[in-house]
Amino acid sequence: MTLGDFNLDTFRLDLLWQAGGEPPPGLDLKPFFRDLIARLELEKVEIALLVIRDDRMQELNSRYRHKKGTTDVLSFPNQVPPPTGGGPAPG
């Protein structure tokens, strides 16, 4: 179930609920992320949030981290990797 997305010129939030059932009533993360982005003085922020069940989390944890079992959070960068042989990634 897609809960929708929220777009401003500098902020995009995509939220996808795949945890079974319906999301909690009144679930609205936009104010939280808006406040966080303002406090951190960030620009051009894009957040994609996928809420899933433990069985799917175990599958992703195994595929991307090569670890058995579930975990609380998996995060992935949304940046182009630095050139091979270069210095540290910018930012």
pLDDT per position as a tens digit, 7-58: 556 778 888 888 888 888 888 888 888 888 888 888 888 888 889 999 999 9
**Radius of gyration for the chain, computed over Cα atoms and rounded to the nearest angstrom:** 16
Flag whether 42 is in a domain: yes
Flag whether 87 is in a domain: no
Q: Total domain count for the chain?
A: 1
- Measured on CA atoms in the order 90, 74, 22, 28, is the torsion positive or negative? negative
Q: Examine the pLDDT at 85 and tell me if it is beyond 60.
A: no
Beta-carbon neighbour count of residue 15 at 10 Å? Answer: 21
Flag whether 58 is in a domain: yes
Flag whether 41 is in a domain: yes
Residue 27, both tokens: 């679930």
pTM for the full model?
A: 0.64
Flag whether 77 is in a domain: no
Beta-carbon neighbour count of residue 61 at 10 Å? Answer: 17
Flag whether 79 is in a domain: no
Flag whether 81 is in a domain: no
Q: Which domain holds residue 21?
A: 2-65
Flag whether 84 is in a domain: no
